[in-house]
Amino acid sequence: MIIVIDGPAGSGKSSTARAIANRLNIEYLDSGALYRAATLIYLEADCDKEAFFNLLDKKDISFYYRNQLFHIAIDGKSVTDDIRTEAVAENVSEVAAMPDVRAFVNELMREVVKDGAYIAEGRDLGTAVFPNAELKFYMWADLDERARRRFDERKDKNPDLTFRQVKESIARRDQKDEKRETDPLKKAEDAIEIDTTGLTFEQQVDQICLEVKQRIEF
C-alpha cells in the first residue's frame, strides 16, 4: 500500500510525510533522497554523463527509515548528510530530468513498496511512478513561504547562505521541474490539494492524517 505526496521544493512534503509515517506507524520513502544520491554519483563522475551512467550501474544504493530519519548509503557507506549539500541541491534537477535516472529511481521505489504500507513524497509520484496509489496529495505554498522554510532549515549549517540565494535556487528548481520533458511536476487529477501557506506544521499534518483515516483502513 502506498500513499503519495507530490509538490514543489520547500512545500513541506518531506517533514510532513515523516510525521505522518510516525503517526500512522507506516514506512516513509523519500524519493528526493534517492535522486540526491544519484546526483552525488554524478558529481563523483565530474558531471560527465557517460562516466556517470557507468558508475551508476555499478553502485549499490540502499536505504531505510529509522528514528525519524531516512538513511541512505552508497556501497554500504552512509551519505545521509552528504546528499544535503548545496552542490547536490544545485545539480539534482538536471540529474532528475534524465530519463534513465528516473527509470532507475522509479524501479528502486516500486520494488520496495511491494510489501508493507508506505508514504512517499516527490514530484511525479502520483502521475508517473504510482498512478494507482491508494491516496494522493499535492502540497504547495507560495515561493516566499517555501524559501523562508528552506532558509531556516539550512542557515545554521550554512552561515554564508542568504534568503535571496535560497529563493532564487527554489525558483530555478521550480522552472526545471515544471518544464522537464520527462514526467514534469504537476498535480495528479485525483490528488487532494493541500495549500500549506499560513498553516502550522501540526495543522498540515492533522489535515492529511484526517483525510487518510477517513479514506483508508489500516
Q: Could you give the number of structural domains in the chain?
A: 1
Helices (DSSP H) in the chain: which residue ranges? 13-24, 31-44, 49-58, 86-96, 99-112, 143-154, 163-179, 201-215
The answer to whether residue 197 is domain-embedded is: yes
The answer to whether residue 143 is domain-embedded is: yes
Task: Output the pLDDT for position 136.
Answer: 97
The answer to whether residue 218 is domain-embedded is: no
Q: What is the CATH number of the domain that holds 128?
A: 3.40.50.300
Domain holding 23, by residue range, is: 2-213
pLDDT digits (tens, 9 = 90+) for 53-65: 999 999 999 999 8
The grid coordinates listed for 205 are 499534518
Compute the C-alpha angle 83/173/69, nearest 5°: 30
Model confidence pTM above 0.85: no
The answer to whether residue 93 is domain-embedded is: yes
Task: Output the pLDDT for position 218.
Answer: 67
Task: Output the pLDDT for position 36.
Answer: 96
pLDDT digits (tens, 9 = 90+) for 93-134: 899 889 999 999 999 999 999 988 999 998 889 999 999 999
The answer to whether residue 23 is domain-embedded is: yes
Helix (H, G, I), strand (E, B), or coil: what is residue 190?
Answer: coil
The answer to whether residue 159 is domain-embedded is: yes
| Ranges of the chain with pLDDT below 70 | 218
The grid coordinates listed for 12 are 513541506
The answer to whether residue 73 is domain-embedded is: yes
Residue with cell 545554521: 156
